[in-house]
Amino acid sequence: PKLIYAISIDESRFYLNGIFFNMEGSKLFGIATNGHQLAKVEITGFSKALEVPFLLPNKAVKIIDFILKKEKSLSLKLVWLL
């Protein structure tokens, strides 16, 4: 919820339609912008993992937000298919 307000809904700027995540050491950074507002969140306490930046699309963000409103906690596992 701290980043959702800054996600762009402009379809012509698809690269702004989501939350960019980047992991550095034990910190996970989430960044979103719509071109006018910029939001950044830092979450600490992660074990060192594969440091691959990724963009979580707006639709996935909305689904996760919907689940969190009902469940109060959520465990996610991200898998890269190469």
Query: Residue 79's pLDDT is what?
Result: 73
What CA–CA distances, in Å, run from 35 to 5, 16, 29, 47? 12, 8, 19, 32
Q: How many Cα atoms within 13 Å fall on the side-chain side of residue 25?
A: 4
pTM: 0.78
Query: Residue 48's pLDDT is what?
Result: 64
User: Which tens digit of pLDDT belongs to each residue from 20-67?
Assistant: 999 888 888 999 999 899 999 998 887 766 677 888 999 999 988 888
Residue with more model confidence, 1 or 46: 46
